[in-house]
């Protein structure tokens, strides 16, 4: 199996997995154009689409792809039913595509029905978990997003995080603003800055390293708690997360 990210729009990644038989699946097609070009260039047959949530920058390419491939299977949560999904999925479901077994996790917060797809080592997490950050909370609550991140953080350390956007550098700038004394974050900031200067992707990234540089996964970190909590009150991890998310929203 080969993992590829197809760049689209300003900063979207449309992920694809392909096999040696020329079959492939894609995740969150924000734009059909780059997908069709990639399929023709590589002579691939598109077998299925995985949708994580209903936002246009994740589903806008579905109608054209369905028009080109009428038998295409489009998996997605209930909130994507009116955006092209013809097979609905929910938490705990398993689906098989290209002989790969995906487990569906409910990961609300960004949207209420957001789901993530996991087939070791691949995690397609849409707008829930970004490298060095997490998604904005539009429809859900901070508690929902916190629980969703904890769910994903419980996956094996060698899990490859395949987020839907290239936000890593901006997320690290915020992380350094909050926690400038963290040496791992400082080190990774310089690595990512160099990658982005060459227009290279920062994804996928292994979860075990993400745990070191993502402040939204470091709510137990005493140094981070002290950096955020000038009053020295006994804050819960959820409260720490909520403070971080609010600060990021206004950064």
Q: Please check whether residues 132 and 215 belong to one and the same domain.
A: no
Report pLDDT digits (tens) over 217-226: 999 998 998 8
Secondary structure E strands in the chain: 2-8, 12-18, 23-27, 45-50, 73-76, 87-88, 94-97, 100-106, 115-119, 122-124, 129-130, 133-134, 160-162, 205-206
Q: Please check whether residues 9 and 131 belong to one and the same domain.
A: yes
Q: Please check whether residues 77 and 128 belong to one and the same domain.
A: yes
Domain that holds residue 84: 2-162
Residue 65 confidence class, pLDDT cut points 50, 70, 90? very high
Q: Please check whether residues 155 and 107 belong to one and the same domain.
A: yes
Q: Which residues are annotated as a binding site for Zn(2+)?
A: 53, 55, 57-58, 110, 127, 165
CA angle 128, 129, 134 (to 5 degrees): 85
Is the per-residue pLDDT at 205 higher than 70?
yes
Lowest mean pLDDT among 39-53, 60-74, 191-205, 217-231: 217-231
Is the per-residue pLDDT at 232 higher than 80?
no
Q: Which residues are annotated as a binding site?
A: 53, 55, 57-58, 110, 127, 165
Q: What is the count of structural domains for the chain?
A: 2
Cα 135 from chain centre? 8
b/e code 162-178 from CB counts within 10 Å (16+ = b): bbbbbbbbbbbebbbeb
CATH of the domain at 96: 3.60.15.10
Q: Please check whether residues 47 and 153 belong to one and the same domain.
A: yes
Q: Please check whether residues 56 and 150 belong to one and the same domain.
A: yes
Q: Please check whether residues 39 and 131 belong to one and the same domain.
A: yes
Q: Please check whether residues 152 and 174 belong to one and the same domain.
A: no
Q: Please check whether residues 139 and 25 belong to one and the same domain.
A: yes
Report pLDDT digits (tens) over 92-131: 999 999 999 999 999 999 999 999 999 999 999 999 999 9
pTM for the model stands at 0.96
Q: Please check whether residues 152 and 203 belong to one and the same domain.
A: no
């Amino acid at each position: 199996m080969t993992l590829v990210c197809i760049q689209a729009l300003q900063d979207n990644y449309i992920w694809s997995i392909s096999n040696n038989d020329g079959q492939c699946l894609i995740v969150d097609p924000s734009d059909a154009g780059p997908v069709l070009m990639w399929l023709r260039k590589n002579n691939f047959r598109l077998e299925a689409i995985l949708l994580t949530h209903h936002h246009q920058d994740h589903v806008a390419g579905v109608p054209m792809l369905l028009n080109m491939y009428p038998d295409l299977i489009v998996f997605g949560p209930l909130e994507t039913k009116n955006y092209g999904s013809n097979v609905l999925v929910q938490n705990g479901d398993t689906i098989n595509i290209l002989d790969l077994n995906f487990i569906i996790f409910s990961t609300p917060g960004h949207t209420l029905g957001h789901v993530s797809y996991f087939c070791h080592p691949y995690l397609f997490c849409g707008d829930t978990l970004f490298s060095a950050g997490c998604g904005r909370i539009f429809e859900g609550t901070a508690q929902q997003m916190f629980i969703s991140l904890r769910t994903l953080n419980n996956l094996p350390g060698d899990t490859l995080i395949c987020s839907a956007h290239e936000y890593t550098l901006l997320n690290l700038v915020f992380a350094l603003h909050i926690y400038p004394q963290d040496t791992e974050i400082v080190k990774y900031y310089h690595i990512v800055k160099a990658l982005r200067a060459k227009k290279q992707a920062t994804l996928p990234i292994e979860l075990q390293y993400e745990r070191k540089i993502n402040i939204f996964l470091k709510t137990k970190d005493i140094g981070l708690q002290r950096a955020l909590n000038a009053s020295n009150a006994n804050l819960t991890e959820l409260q720490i997360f909520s403070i971080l998310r609010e600060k990021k929203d206004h950064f």
